Amino acid sequence: NPNGEGLVDWPSYNLNEEYLQINLKQKKARKLKEKKVDFWRKLMFEKTNNKGMEHRKINTEL
């Protein structure tokens, strides 16, 4: 059991995206890669929107 006496509580996997941050001092944290996920999500959204606009330009030119 990782939640033994005197240890930092190691949260179970759940929708809150909690995890145990292992460093010199252990602590419970949330959303390990939230900033990276947001960056890629925005980038992919922009790319898909731009492709749609390019497709529309081609259709109107024909």
Q: Phi and psi for 19 in degrees, rounded to 5? A: -150, 165
Instruction: Please report how many Cα atoms fall inside a 13 Å half-sphere around the Cα of residue 55, on the Cβ side.
Output: 6
Q: What is the mean pLDDT of residues 22-29?
A: 81
| 10 vs 56, residue with greater confidence | 10
* Strand residue runs (E) in the chain: 18-21, 27-30
Structure tokens at 12: 């179970």
Q: What is the mean pLDDT of residues 44-53?
A: 78
Q: What is the mean pLDDT of residues 40-44?
A: 92
Query: Measuring CA to CA, which residue among 22, 51, 17 is closest to residue 34?
Result: 17
